[in-house]
Amino acid sequence: MLLAATSAYVPFYLNALTFAAFMVLILISKAEMPPPKPRTESVVASVVEGFKYVTENGWMGRILLTVCGMSFFGFSFIVLVPAVCKQVLHVKSHYYGLLMGMTGLGALAGIIAVAALKKRVGLKAMMSVGAFLTAAFLIAFALSRTYWLSCLLAVGVGGSFLVFNAVAAAAVQGNARPEMQGRVSSMLVVAYIGIFPLGGLLLGFLSDALSLQTSLLIGGFACVAVALSVVFFVSVPGEKEPADRGELEPGHPPGIAEAD
């Protein structure tokens, strides 16, 4: 909205000011950070140990792979939004900002949904629904030719992807050993933020080689495949179908759903 009402510079400057606000909060905060533990192994050894831990807990590795898949084929659709605005919806450039903002509005709605439903619905069920809805909204977005309909569908994509990603992160982090939570969190960041630019490259290539609509449809149907893999191959410890309960170590913390 700011982009449409002002100029391209104003949103960037205001965004920078929000970081200044956080800097002030950090400076006036009296919270003390615990001292860092002395490093006893190299970074490479730590990374290898993290991968070994995820490999030993196969359920965790499968969740991380589904996050990679949804990010690669689903969230990467945002790189094609400018082209959608120009080539499909035929709207002016400032409408792009509003359409992108709709994904953020959807993410806000998604995190509220996670907070409201996490004690009522199982984590695997929420992951499955989030994955299927992401695929459905993305396919519908690819077929839309109306700007305001595309905005509503972008809300759906942003919200459903957030539900899937947040619940996947909660399942993995909540069941990881305390000393491994940092490494597992790093893998989640790579699976989410580190993978989607690669997916954007692929979708962009497919868009040039085939068509913009075909590229988005491929991403949507690939998300359907990922959603099916969640249903049939993913389990979360502490829930009704803990297929990999035997992979957990003795004394492992309970699943989030069980703890709640």
Same domain, 15 and 54: no
Same domain, 8 and 90: no
- What is the H or E stretch that residue 33 is in? none
Q: What's the pLDDT band for 221 if we cut at 50, 70, 90?
A: very high
Say what the pLDDT of residue 253 is.
41
Same domain, 63 and 9: no
Say what the pLDDT of residue 32 is.
78
Whether the Cβ atoms of residue 241 and residue 235 lie closer than 8 Å to each other: yes
Specify if 231 maps to a domain: yes
Domain that holds residue 9: 1-32
Q: What's the rounded Cα separation, in Å, for the pair 202 and 183?
A: 28
- Note the pLDDT tens digit of each residue in 86-114: 889 888 777 888 888 899 899 999 888 88
225 pLDDT above the threshold of 90 = yes
Same domain, 200 and 220: yes
For 27, residues 6+ apart whose C-beta sits below 8 A from its C-beta are none
- Note the pLDDT tens digit of each residue in 181-193: 888 888 889 888 8
In the 8-state DSSP scheme, what is residue 238? T
138 pLDDT above the threshold of 70 = yes
CATH at 206: 1.20.1250.20
- Note the pLDDT tens digit of each residue in 56-71: 888 888 999 999 999 9
Q: Is 102 helix (H, G, I), strand (E, B) or coil?
A: helix
Say what the pLDDT of residue 153 is.
94
Whether the Cβ atoms of residue 220 and residue 143 lie closer than 8 Å to each other: no
Q: What's the pLDDT band for 240 if we cut at 50, 70, 90?
A: low
> Radius of gyration (Cα) for the chain, nearest Å?
20
Whether the Cβ atoms of residue 85 and residue 95 lie closer than 8 Å to each other: yes
Same domain, 3 and 67: no
Say what the pLDDT of residue 250 is.
36
Unique residue bearing structure tokens 């490494």: 183
In the 8-state DSSP scheme, what is residue 170? H
Unique residue bearing structure tokens 């030719």: 145
pLDDT above 70: percentage of residues in the chain: 92
The number of distinct structural domains making up the chain is 2
Specify if 99 maps to a domain: yes
- pTM reported for the whole predicted model: 0.80
For 51, residues 6+ apart whose C-beta sits below 8 A from its C-beta are none
